[in-house]
Structure formats: C-alpha cells, structure tokens
Amino acid sequence: MIAKIAVVLISMVVAYLVGQWRRFSVELSLFLAAFLGAGCGAIFSTPPWQEILRHLVEGSFTYLDVILVFSTATIFMAVLRESGGIDYVVQATMNSLGKIRPLALFILMVIVLIPGALTGAGSVSLLVVGAPVAAALHHLGLSRPRIAAILFILAGLSAAAPPVNIWAMILCAGTAIPYVGFELPLGLPVIFLGTLTIFSLGWRPEKIAEAKENWEKMDIPKGMSWWRIALPFMVLFGLILAYRLWPFNLPVLGLPLQFFLGSITAWLTSPKKLNFFLISRETMVRILPLVSTMVVIGMLQQVMTATGVRGLISYAVISIPLVLLFISLAVIIPISEGVLTYGAAAILGIPLIWYLDSLGYHATVAISGLSLLWPLGDGLPPTALIGRLSVMVSNYEGSYWSFLRKTWFPWIIITLAGILMVIFSAKLSFLVRWSTG
C-alpha cells in the first residue's frame, strides 16, 4: 500500500512540474496536480473513479469562508482607498508623529498587530491597515521591498498573537487541550519579536528626500475629514468587539458581513461619488490568484487525504528522530504551511503535539512555539498567501524573492525563538500558569 501511495505522490509532483514547465500559473499547476493525483489514485481505487470529481468539488469548499472574508475585506479597503481616506490618514499621522521615529514605528507596529490578533488572520491585518501603514512607512523613507518585508512578518505575528490564534485553536481542538493560558506564551514573544522586526528593518531610512515631497503633494479630495474615515473602521471594529463583549445578546454576523457593512459605510461616507460595483469588480481581478489558490489547495488537500498521500507525509514527519526533528522544524513547518496553509497544522501539528506531549513537553507552550513558525510559511510558494498580500498592499512591483530575502533577520530570530520555546516548553510553563491566574 505504501508503494501505491508513493506512486500517487510522484504523479502529483510530476503534474505540478509539467504545469510549471508549460508556464501555467501556480494555481493551475496545483489544480493539475490535484486532478492527476486523484486520477492516479483511482487506478488503485483510492478514491474510486466515480468519486474523483466529487472529491475535487468537495475539496473546493474547504476554505469557502476564508474566500468570502478575503473578498469582502479587500472590497472594504478598496472603497476606502478610492475615497481618498487612506491618503488622508497617512498625511495626518505623518504630520503629528513623523518626527519621533521610534514612536512612529512602534505605533505602526501595534496598528498592524491588532486586527490580526482579534481575528486570527494576518490577511485581515494587511487588508485593513496594510495600505495606510505601507504608505506611512514609505514616508518614513523605507523602500517598497523592505516595507513588504515588515508587513509580512508583522502580519504573521498578528495572526499568532492572542486572543485568537487559529493554528493553536486547530491544535487544541485536535488534541483535547483547552484553548486557555495562551495569553503570555503567545503575547510576550509576539510583542518582543514584532518590536525587533520593525526596529531592525525600519530604523534606518533609505531615501528621505523623495518621500517627504511625495506626501506633501498627495491629493486629498475636498471634504475629507476624520469622521469620514473613522466611521467605517468604527463600524467594523465595533461589530467585531460588540460580539466579543455581548456574545449572547447579539446575533453572529461573521467576518464577511462585518466587512461588507464596513465597506457600505465607507461608500456612504466618501466625499466623492464612487461606483461600488465597479470598485468591487476591479478588486476581484486583483485577488483572483489568492482566492483561486484557496480553492485549489482545498481540492489538493482532499485528494491527498483520499489517496493517502497526506498520511504518508504526516507519518514521515513523526518518524524523524527527536533531535533531528527539532532542527528540521525550522524547515518543515514553514514549508508545510506554504503548501497546505492551515491544513498543515492538522496534518503535522496534531501528531507532533501528541508525540511531544507523551515525551513530557508542555503542550501549551510547545503549541505557542510552533505557531510562531507557521506564519513564516505564509510567505513561501506555492500559496504564499500573506507574502503576496504584503507585496500587493505595499505596491511593490519587483521580484518576489527580492522581497522575501529582506526578511532574513527577523525570520531567523523568530525561527530560533519558536524552536527554543518548544524545546524548553517545560521550563516555560510558568507563562501558562501566570496567564490563567
């Protein structure tokens, strides 16, 4: 049986490579891999051939809700940008904070961390505040690739930050460990690593003169004012916070609707008349690669499970000897995230945590450590969800790798911090006790 699974795995890899060779997009190559993988599996009737299409279609639903969040959140930001609100915010912030650089950097970091911490999705951070923060960083004299690097790392940390960390939640759900006591083991490293990131990458300006000129020449539409820009955000955060505060008195709206209501507000408060439908349509053109990746990855995940490929990979990881395992975490975790996104936490994370738990490691701290590593993988192909979003919101148009290379320093520090937290999880368990009181 193991040989058959290996054949399927090879067929998927070959299909992907052929797709790349024929210059198909990454998404289409992945789809090809899923399709041929299922076809190859059907030879061994895993799955039966009548079920191939059903598996592909069913898999496409895996991230449907994430797709809706992406779509509505990007529309929200697009409407704000078109109304001139973002330029306005940047100008105002830079006028008041631009002179005290460390404070400006620190505040910008906190602004990026908050939306992701509240929703567990780094993408929300980028979609909501990414563009204005990128603009502000630009006016602090940073180059586009460096801004994208900062946003990418901070967005990843925001997703890991408490109170909501989806990786930790998936692991807790799969290991019967209560999702409690994560405030300090996650919060402290995130604040520390975030500060380190923004200061190390953002301390030294690269090209001051040009930037300053730009921001003073910015064209703000007439009639733009604080309340026009604050109101859509207040609606959005108000709805998210209100559910957190009174969960039993309010109906569940869900993030897509919350973003949509936010964008309607932004549309109504815009000083100039905007074509909501046209803006939305153009937004969808831009996020097609991201959204189609989510659909195709869901299909791929389903096919990998139905054929046993997923099990083979999971088995290979937990069979690695312990010391080697700790070292290889630095590579395995980000790459698995790059290929499978959240699916990786279930496939590798759950067996890994059980294994570590049975060896006497402290599960809560170990999960916290691992969930610092996972977000790094969101910058790696084939999916590179957060990486591509970072590039998108910071308007960087150079090569993807030149952006990714800029992240090396925080990347290494975060990797070290995460792995050390796993190794010394038992010694760090006081963080959990302090969190729960």
Partner 1 sequence: MAKFIMITYYLLTAFIATLFFWNFWQEKKKIDRQILYLLVLIPLLLRLLRIK
Partner 2 sequence: MRTKIILLICLVFILIWPAIQLYQHRHFQIPIVAGPGVTRVTKLSHYLPALKGTMADTWIFWLEGQESGGKALILGNSHANEPEGMLAALVVIENGLVERGTLLVIPQFNHSASRATRPGDGYPLYFNIDTKWGKKKFRMGNREASPLDQWPDPDVYLHYPDKQLLSFLDARNVNRTWPGRPKGLLMEQVTYAAMELIRQEKVDLVIDIHGAETMFPVTNCIVAPEKSAKLATMVSLTVKATEKFDNHVEPSPPKFRGLSHREIGDYSDAMPFLLEAPIPFLDQPTGPKTEKFLLDGKDPFLLRLSRKNKLFVPYDETGWPIDKRVGQHLSVTLEILRQYSRRTPERSIIIHNVPRYAEVVEKGVGYYFQDPSQVRRDRIYLN
Cis amide leading into 382 (omega within 30): yes
Q: DSSP secondary-structure letter at 273?
A: -
27 binds, among partner 2, partner 1, none (CB under 5 to 8 A by kind): partner 1
Select 8 or 330, whichever has its Cβ closest to partner 2.
Answer: 8
Stretch that binds partner 2, among 48-56, 93-101, 185-193, 212-220 (CB under 8 A): 48-56
The conformational region for residue 24 under phi > 0 = left, psi -120 to 50 = alpha, else beta, is: beta
The closest alpha carbon to 167, from 116, 236, 109, 237, belongs to 116
| Contact code string over 5-24 relative to partner 1, x by CB under 8 A | -------------------x
Examine residue 56 and tell whether it contacts partner 2 (CB under 8 A): yes
The DSSP line for 145-213 is HHHHHHHHHHHHHHHHSSS--HHHHHHHHHHT--S-S-HHHHHHHHHHHHHHHHHHHHSS-S-HHHHHH
In the complex, the smallest distance separating the C-beta of residue 26 from partner 2, rounded to whole angstroms, is 19
Going residue by residue from 181 to 220, which x/- string records binding to partner 2, judged by CB under 8 A?
A: ----------------------------------------
| 169 forms part of the interface with partner 2 (CB under 8 A) | yes
358 near partner 2, rule: CB under 8 A:
yes
Q: Binding segment for partner 2 among 9-17, 54-62, 202-210, 326-334 (CB under 8 A)?
A: 54-62
Closest CA to 379 of 164, 149, 129: 149
437 binds partner 2 per the rule CB under 8 A:
no
Q: How far is the CB of 320 from partner 2 (least distance, A)?
A: 12
Which of these, 299, 333, 308, lies nearest to 30 by C-alpha position?
A: 299
How far, in Å, CA of 153 to CA of 167, rounded? 16
Give 191's Cβ-side CA count (13 Å radius).
Answer: 7
346 counts as binding partner 2 under rule CB under 8 A: yes
Q: In whole angstroms, what is the distance from residue 209 CA to residue 216 CA?
A: 12
285 vs 323 by CB, closer to partner 1: 285
By CB under 8 A, the residues from 315 to 344 that bind partner 2 are: 315, 318-319, 343
64 is a contact residue toward partner 1 (CB under 8 A): yes
CB proximity list for 314: less than 8 A, separation 6 or greater: 347, 348, 351
The distance of closest approach from Cβ of residue 18 to partner 2 in the complex, given in angstroms and rounded to an integer, is 20
How far is residue 189's CA from residue 180's CA, in Å, rounded to a whole number?
A: 17
120-139 core/surface letters (b: 16 or more CB in 10 A; e: else): bbbbbbbbbbbbbbbbbbbb
241 binds partner 2, rule: CB under 8 A: no
Give the residue, chosen from 114, 351, 413, 424, that forms a contact with partner 2 under the rule CB under 8 A: 351
Show the CA angle centred on residue 348, arms to residues 392 and 151, nearest 5°: 20
Q: Which stretch binds partner 2 (CB under 8 A): 104-112, 199-207, 247-255, 368-376?
A: 247-255
Q: Applying CB under 8 A, does 249 fall inside the site for partner 1? A: no
Interface positions with partner 1 (CB under 8 A): 24-25, 27-28, 31, 57-58, 60-61, 64, 67-68, 71-72, 251-254, 256-257, 260, 280-281, 284-285, 288-289, 291-292, 295-296
